[in-house]
Structure formats: C-alpha cells, structure tokens
Amino acid sequence: MKLISSLKSAKEEVADKMNEATEIYNKALGIMEATSKQVTGPKKSGEKLDEYMLNTLSVPLTATVPEKPKFKIAAHNQEALAVKYDNFGNSLATCGGDNLLKVWDPSTGKEICRFKDFTKPVTCLDYNLDGNLICAGSVDKTIRVFDLKAQRSKHCFTGHGDTINSISALLRSARIVSGASDRTIKLWDYEKMQILTTVLPNNS
C-alpha cells in the first residue's frame, strides 16, 4: 500500500506540472486570440490561428537569431555534461567531467559559487521551484542537494548501483526523481531523507 501511495503521489506531481504547462499555453493562446482581433481580414474557416496571425499582422512576426554569443564561459576543465537555468533566469548551473558543479550569473558570465563534493563526474542537475536548491547526480552513484544561499551540500543520497543519468525536482514538494544506469528510477524526499519509491526494470 505504501508503494501504491508513493506512486500515486508522484503521478499527482507530474499531473500538476502538466497542468501548469497547459495553463501557460492557454494564456499565450488567449493573448494571440486577443491580438488577432486588432488585425484586418477575417479568419478563414479551418485556418490555424498562428497561420492567420502571420498572414494578417501589419508587423511581421520575426525572430532575431544572434550572430554571435554575448559571451563564452570556460566552465569546466573537462567536458560540460549538463546546463540549466533556474525558473526565473537569475542563475545558471553547469556540471562536468571535472567533478564540479558551478553556478553562474547569466548576465555577466561570472562564477557565483562552486561545489566540490562529488568524487567523479557530475552528469545531471536541476533546480527546485524557488531556485534556492540544486539537486545533482554523479558517476559516483550519489545524489546531492545543494543550498545556494548557504553555498554548501545539504543532503547526500545513496541507493543507486550505477551512474546517475537524469534528475528532476518535482514542483511544490521536497521530492526529486532520478534515473540511473542500474536501470532503476527512484523517488526521494530530501526533507525526510529517504527513498519513497524504486521502480525496477519491467515493473508494471
């Protein structure tokens, strides 16, 4: 029953994430619909809204592709394996083959802090919703949660039997999901410091 309850909770978190994405999409669609009323020419039957907007707007909808990067960050001494913005665009985190996780100011390209807690390459990372914590996984089979304000490792989890390949922080909870080369997926609670669920290969 505990396993079923944990799986149900995880599914609810994923559903919340999808609902938020749908809400954002619907808001954007509403803006486009409102804007379409300001342009001339009726919308043809069966014509898609984005096609109608492109065909009738007096000001063309164009995207400007930068000719060159604003700046380059020499982030790691070995390969950079993952990069992620926080949810507000205020900081940028990278991790790599030099066993380091680094946090940068994306407006200047300057390093804010670095974490040296892993003993092998850091393969994946994610921010929590508020952007004050980063979770990351490594070839050393550990998952760590870092406090950006205190600039220290807050929690360390062990349980996977091989390299951590993927990690995601769930919305509105103290939970993270990880996937590893041991072919398992694990759901963790970093406040309770425990594994909630392990999904094994071929589990239905």
Burial zone of 63 (CB within 10 Å; 0-12 exposed, 13-18 middle, 19+ buried)? exposed
Residue 45 is predicted with a pLDDT of 59
Encode burial over 182-192: b for 16+ CB neighbours within 10 A, e otherwise: bebbbbbbbee
Q: Confirm whether 33 is domain-assigned.
A: yes
pLDDT along the chain (204 residues), means of 10: 60 68 65 51 55 54 72 90 92 96 94 96 95 96 96 94 95 89 94 90 66
Same domain, residue pair 87 and 40: no
DSSP 8-state secondary structure symbol assigned to residue 44: P
Is there a single domain that holds both residue 170 and residue 121?
yes
pLDDT of amino acid 39: 44
Q: What is residue 29's predicted lDDT score, i.e. its pLDDT?
A: 61
In a domain, 67, yes or no: no
- Look at residue 68 in the predicted model and tell me its pLDDT: 84
Summarize pLDDT for 53-89 with one digit per residue, the tens: 555 554 555 567 778 888 888 899 999 999 999 988 8
Note whether residue 185 is domain-resident. Answer: yes
Q: Which domain holds residue 193?
A: 80-199
pTM summary value: 0.66
Do 88 and 38 share a structural domain? Answer: no
Token code pair at residue 169: 């922080």
HEC string of 134-172?
EEEEECCCEEEEEECCCCEEEEEEECCCCCEEEEEECCC
Q: Of 143, 188, 194, 147, give the one whose Cα is nearest residue 164.
A: 143
Q: Is residue 68 part of a domain?
A: no
pLDDT at 202: 76
Would 184 be classed as within a structural domain?
yes
Residue type, 29: L
Q: How many domains does the chain have?
A: 2
**What is the side-by-side strand order in the sheet with 92-96?**
80-85, 92-96, 101-105, 110-115
pLDDT recorded at residue 50: 53
Same domain, residue pair 118 and 52: no
Joined tokens for residue 176: 């993270």
42 and 96 co-located in one domain: no
The secondary element (H helix, E strand) that includes residue 125 is strand 122-127
